Structure 1
Amino acid sequence: MPADEQSPESVPVIAVTAAVGAVVLLLVLLCNMGRQKQEEEREEEEQEEKAEHISEPQKTSKRREQRAAGRSKKEQKATFSHPWLSCSLKSHSQPVLDMDFSANGKFLASCAEDRTVVVWGIKELDKKEHKGHRVNVELDHATLVKFSPDSKAIVLNLFAANAIRVMKLARKSDGGLGNAEASFDFKQHHKEEINCIGISGNGRFIMTCAKDTSIVIWDLKGEILAQIDTRQMNNSHAAVSPCGRFVGSCGFTPDVKIWEICFDKSGAFKEVTRAFELKGHQAGVYSFAFSDGSNRMATVSKDGTWKFWKTDVEYKKQQDPYLLLTVPYTHNGHYSRIALSPDARTVAIATGVDIALFNTVNGDQSATLSSVHSSPITCLLFDPTNHFLLSTGDKHIHVVRNVAGYQSAILDLNEKVQKANGEAMKERIRQQIKQYRDLLSTYENGSTS
């Protein structure tokens, strides 16, 4: 057979061989491409991991900056501004829970969730900048704070321990505050959370009140003198009167109960007696406040009203307190706190983040301060000089000039000058009116909210 001729049987064999070779070649190419792709992906992953490892501090820093920017934006959004605002006390890093003024009028103590107590020098609250002395609360935080009558110690309620701690405040040679150290802790007694504490102005006893119906009267060494069952279903508020004689409580029932803590002439504890009750609200009472002389009281209730009372009565002769005013207020469902100015001419009610100001001459509302804090207000009080109102609900303490108090004083004095006997008395009252009008003129642009 010639060389260029092939048998018919060899053609299929050659075709099959060529096809198999092509398939094998294709598989080899695919395998090589797969390995190359895997190597490329592995190299990319290694590069990405390396890049992530190198840039992690930068990313962490960026996240911190973003969180800080978010906090700054939130704080900026919640910043309170008002013509009556005198200053804001800024030192705490977490929400402030309570405040109290020292009896000598030189200091303000504030406690917060950041496990610190800050003692502020507040000789001149109209200054813009104030420095605070920080006191650390070890392994706990204080929910309540009160100054001792001699202003040399602070009494705290510890959140986790649910007990009282006394801390002594050291003084420097220049009169400034030095280090503070824990003196001693009271034994734990209350079964429910303590929500109020108080100290008598004469230094004879300390009061603690829990959210159930229990109130305990302690001596200054932490020994129990007496226990009170308020029988009010629960206690929403309790306080010691400025005169140091009385303890009051309110809660689920529509009344405020007042007890006298009695001591004998030698100063030894004698007994607790029921003094009087403030009756007239149609629902539970949120809170109440005493005037500086303990002869007036103000109460605020779930029924949407606040009441003003004359309480310098002879209760031992069965004389009841006199109701002077019943005034409606805007109640939006939040817990309401009430403060009464030392001269008893002005009432402040905090509901949620807003504060409403009223005079006690005729009950008219003087102003509303809106969105004062970014969270519901936790403490509200007037300073001892009657010139400022302090509030807190976030990590700042706002100090507002008591312009409403100047307006109330003018109303009250105008009534008194009409009733005064003698020209000399009338002239003295007119001079007081002029002084308040001069103060008021400074802030007349902020007379409305």
Structure 2
Amino acid sequence: MEGGSLVALSLVVGLLALAVALAAGWGRPDPGEPPGDTAGKKANGVSVKKPLGSKKLKQQQQRSRKEKHPQHNFTHPLLASALKGHSGNITCLDFSSNGKYLATCSDDRTVRIWSTKDFLERDHRCRQANVELDHATLVRFSPDCRAFIVWLANENTLRVYKMAKREDGGFTFTAAPEDFPKKHKAPIINIAIAETGKFIMTASSDTTILIWNLKGEVLATINTTQMNNAHATISPCSRFVAACGFTPDVKVWEVRFKKTGNFPEVVRAFELKGHTARVYSFAFSNDSRRMATVSKDGTWKVWDTSVEYKKQQNPYLLLTGRHDEAASRPCRLALSPDAQVLALASGCSLWLYNTRRGKQEEHFRQAHGEPVADLTFDTTGRFLASCGDRAVRVFHNAPGHRAVVEEMQGLLRKATNESTRQRLQQQLSQAQAALDSLEAPRG
């Protein structure tokens, strides 16, 4: 009897343990069910799973899109201001010829027009133009500052916006009824408007440059024959179009117009030869008498381009400087209006060089959270603006002030006329005071 009781007791304990195990397993999710999904139910002994709520998933996706990435923080004694307002990365910037405005475009489907007189103020006013159903990758002011053109990322064409000033000082922006026809087959690298207002240039990453009239008609097609284009633009004098790419030179063409305004032709003018590897970028001085280039060979060069190319005269090389960053990654370049300062961008950082001595004078390390997309000096040469992330960094051009001081000191030593000496001394004092005000915060 005792043995039978023990067997019965063991059987009861085993049945209880099995019941507990089954009860515990009943609430576990199916092996194929996503963790945390409690939507699975039992109906007639069959596991019925509900998909994750589409409404909840949609809300999560919307929140994810609205979440802003942390703004990149950067400080420097020469940082004049950071223009913030775009919700996407800024791809291009352009100063108006009258120096009053800065235009920026972003993948947030807007173009913003900033007032340059607010650069040193706490608040930075801007007006916004929306790019319907698309976004702009490039923006350029018209010479009269009453319009701007943009390159549309999705439509792959030019759109013109007219600007009209309101009584309250703001602007209204009206897009032209029709965009330019689609002509390029490869991605666009740059657009530009001649200061004379006679033509527009667009350049793509293959070997194509198109010259347009303002009505959207192609006047000429230039084949650069250099495997691909890296950069192209119009000279400030509106006489030349230049391009660089895979080859170690810069090719320059003259765009000719008759006195009647008719367009006859584009002819080859001259080349800048001297680099030993591909040229990444170049820029003109404001008077088009100087050009600067930067190459994969790790050097930058300054050239005198005020030559009579029709008499087979070649540009003169004035100076060669080193920029080791260029040997390992592409660079962008900007030249101050007076050609005294060269700005280079590699990755997220900026460097400023004196073009007389080839000396590096400033280095803005990690100025942006993303690689620099564009940089340019304002029309006065007081400021350098750059973009890449969601803010425009505006820097004081301290090297430019130093260059003016050096120039005035040299002219003063050579001056013999007393009235000339007094005028130069006044200019020197003003330049020195401006430089001292920038240097003071740096101790």
Q: If the TM-score is normalised by the length of the shorter chain, which range does it land in?
A: 0.7 to 0.9
Code of the aligned partner of 2:291: M
Question: Does 1:116 pair with 2:114?
Answer: no
Indicate the residue corresponding to 1:81 in structure 2. 75
Q: Which residue of 1 aligns with 2:43?
A: none
Matched pairs, number: 421
In structure 2, the partner of 1:372 is 367
What are the ranges of 5 or more consecutive residues in structure 1 without an aligned counterpart? 1-10
Measure, in 2, the Cα distance between the counterparts of 1:279 and 1:15. 108
- Name the counterpart of 1:3: none
Whether the aligned pair in 2 keeps the contact of 1:87 and 1:129 (CA below 8 Å) is no
1:33/1:150 CA distance change after superposition, 3 Å: same
The answer to whether the 8 Å contact 1:167/1:183 transfers is no
Q: Is the 8 A contact 2:93 2:139 kept in 1?
A: yes
SS of 1:123's equivalent in the other structure is helix
What does residue 212 of structure 2 align with?
A: 218
Q: What SS class does the counterpart of residue 319 from structure 1 fall into? A: coil
Q: When the two structures are superposed, what TM-score results if normalisation uses the length of structure 2?
A: 0.87
| Structure 2 residue runs without a partner (length 5+) | 30-34, 41-51
Contact between 1:170 and 1:179, CA under 8 Å: does it hold in 2?
A: yes
1:187 — aligned with what? 181
Cα distance in 2 for residues equivalent to 1:418 and 1:235: 46
Q: Compared with structure 1, are the counterparts of its residues 184 and 426 closer, same or farther at alpha carbon in structure 2 (3 Å cutoff)?
A: farther
Aligned equivalent of 1:261: 255
User: Counterparts of 1:23 and 1:146 in 2: how far apart (Å)?
Assistant: 90
| Mapped partners of 1:305, 1:29: distance in 2 | 85
What are the residue-to-residue correspondences of 1:221-260 with 2, within 5 Å?
221-260=215-254
3-state SS, counterpart of residue 139 of structure 1: coil
The whole-number CA distance in structure 1 between the counterparts of 2:324 and 2:399 is 18
Compared with structure 1, are the counterparts of its residues 312 and 446 closer, same or farther at alpha carbon in structure 2 (3 Å cutoff)? farther
User: One-letter code of the match for 1:215?
Assistant: I
What amino acid is the match of 2:235? S
Task: Tell me: CA distance 1:124–1:419, structure 2 relative to 1, closer, same or farther (3 Å).
Answer: farther
Cα displacement (A) at 1:26 = 5.4
The CA deviation at 1:97 is: 0.4
Which one has a bigger Cα radius of gyration?
1
Displacement of 1:104 in angstroms is 2.1
1:178 aligns with 2:176: no
Q: Which residue of 2 aligns with 1:6?
A: none
In structure 2, what residue type is equivalent to 1:348? A
Question: Are the equivalent residues in 1 in contact too, given 2:157–2:180 (CA < 8 A)?
Answer: yes
CA distance in 1: counterparts of 2:423 and 2:397, whole angstroms: 23
What is the alpha-carbon distance in structure 2 between the residues aligned to residue 416 and residue 369 of structure 1?
Answer: 31
Contact residue 118 and residue 124 of structure 2 kept, 8 A? no
Q: How does 1:389-428 map to 2 (within 5 A)?
A: 389-428=384-423
CA 1:265–1:39: 2 relative to 1, 3 Å: closer
Shift, 1:22, TM fit: 5.7
Q: CA deviation at 1:412?
A: 2.0
Contact 1:167–1:184 under 8 Å retained in 2 = no
**Whose helix fraction is larger, Structure 1's or Structure 2's?**
1
Answer yes or no: is the 8 Å Cα contact 2:198–2:214 preserved in 1.
yes
SS at match of 2:203: strand
Name the amino acid aligned to 2:76.
H
Q: Match for residue 320 of structure 1?
A: 314
AA aligned to 2:103 is: A
What amino acid maps onto 1:200 in structure 2? Answer: A
Which residue in 1 is equivalent to 2:49?
none
- Whole-Å separation in 1 of the counterparts to 2:19 and 2:358: 92
- Other-structure match for 2:283: 289
SS of residue in 2 equivalent to 1:355: strand
Per-residue deviation, 1:438: 0.1
**Contact 2:305 2:316 (C-alpha < 8 Å) held by counterparts:** yes
| Counterpart check, 1:338 vs 2:336 | no
Contact 1:147–1:154 under 8 Å retained in 2: yes
TM-score by length of 1: 0.86
Q: Deviations over 1:161-200 (max 9, x none)?
A: 2211112223212442124434431111111101111100
CA distance in 2, matches of 1:342, 1:301: 21
CA RMSD, Structure 1 to Structure 2 (Å): 3.0
Percent pairwise identity: 45
Distance 1:365 1:35 in 2: 77
Aligned to 1:361: 356
Letter of the 1:408 counterpart: A
Distance 2:260 2:95 in 1: 29
More displaced stretch, 18-27 vs 315-324: 18-27
* Most deviating of 221-230 and 408-417: 408-417
1:350 aligns with 2:345: yes
Q: Would the aligned equivalents of 1:403 and 1:447 in 2 still touch at CA under 8 Å?
A: no
Distance 1:94 1:317, change over 3 A: same
Structure 2 counterpart of 1:362, one-letter code? R
Render the CA deviation track for 1:256-295: whole Å, top value 9, x for unaligned: 1111111001111111011111111111111111111111
Deviation at 1:415, TM superposition (A): 2.3
* Alignment partners' CA distance in 2, 1:259 and 1:398: 33
**2:118/2:125 contact within 8 Å kept:** no
The 1:422/1:174 distance shift into structure 2, 3 A limit, reads same
